[in-house]
Amino acid sequence: MDNAIRWPRVKELLDSALERWKAENGRDPRMRGAHDGHIGWETKEELASSSPYEKQLIDPAKVGNGKAEETNLVRILRGPIGGYRRMPSGGPYLSPNEIKEISEWINAGMPD
């Protein structure tokens, strides 16, 4: 039986994090203006091409080969990197298990 994490679960995790942030902060985030570049995840292709601050969230060279922990997406979800705060800014943050699911998805080649 295939137990691989699939795109709908990753989108659910990211959407849930955004909804928790909205509930805690009482407003929609200013993601487009605050991230100086494109960021989004309506599709996995959009997530893969997201490059806030000219930092690609998912480097294609790190997909499907056990290097998900090196992607900017996983790194910024775990903690601050290169002067940028852990995301989502100020929390609430994804749990270690939720981040692990995203990492497993990237390591599995980002399956649909």
pTM of full prediction above 0.85: yes
* pLDDT tens digits, 6-54: 999 999 999 999 999 999 999 988 776 556 778 899 999 999 999 988 8
Q: Which two tokens stand for residue 101?
A: 């699911």
84 forms beta bridges with 81
Structure letter (DSSP) for residue 63: S
Are 97 and 13 within 8 A, CB to CB? no
Domain ranges in the chain are 30-107
| CA 87 to the chain's CA centroid | 9
Supply the angle between the helices 96-107 and 7-25 in degrees, to the nearest 10: 150
